Amino acid sequence: MKRIFALGVMLALLSGCSSDRTVIDTSQSLVMESSVLSAGIITDKPVISVREGQQRAVSQLYNQQEKPVTLHYRFYWYDDKGLEILPFEAPRTVRVAPHSSVEISSQTGNLTASKVRLYLYL
C-alpha cells in the first residue's frame, strides 16, 4: 500500500514538472552577460527599422578598455505574440578595438517580426 501511495505521489510531482509552455519576456531587448560589462563593453538596445523591405536591427558596441575585446552575439526575432521567428540566426563573433565602436546588425525577411532581443557573451 505504501508503495502505491509513493508511486502516486511521484507521478503527481513529475506530471506537475512537465510543461510545454515556455514564457519569453520579449520586452527585454538587450541581454548581456556580466563578463561582457566587466570586459569594458557597453552598448545600447537594438533599434529596429525597415530597409529594402526587410526588418533590420542595429546596435553599437563600445569598448572602453585599452585592449581589444572579442565577443559573441546573437539576435533573436519575435512576432507580436512573442513567438520566436524561424530560421534561427547563428551566433556571430566580433572584435572591438580599444576605445572604439562597432555596429552590429541583423536582418529578417519575415514581415511579422516586430521585436528583437540581442544577447551578448564572451
Give yes or no for residue 10 having a pLDDT over 60: no
Residue 77, Cα to own-chain centre: how many angstroms? 9
Give yes or no for residue 22 having a pLDDT over 60: no
Q: Give the Cα separation of 39 and 83 in Å (integer).
A: 32
Q: Where are the beta strands (DSSP E) in 1-114?
A: 30-32, 41-43, 47-51, 54-63, 69-78, 92-96, 101-108
Give yes or no for residue 20 having a pLDDT over 50: no
Counting every residue written for the chain, the total comes to: 122
pLDDT of 12 reads 46
- pLDDT by residue (tens digit) across 42-91? 999 999 999 888 999 999 999 999 999 999 999 999 999 999 998 889 99
Name the grid cell of 9. Answer: 505521489
Task: For residue 78, give Cα distances in angstroms to 24, 33, 74, 84.
Answer: 10, 21, 13, 4
Give yes or no for residue 11 having a pLDDT over 70: no
Q: What is the pTM (predicted TM-score) of this model? A: 0.77
Domains and CATH numbers, the chain: 24-121 (2.60.40.3230)
Give yes or no for residue 7 having a pLDDT over 50: no
pLDDT of 28 reads 87
Alpha helices in the chain (DSSP H): 2-17, 34-38
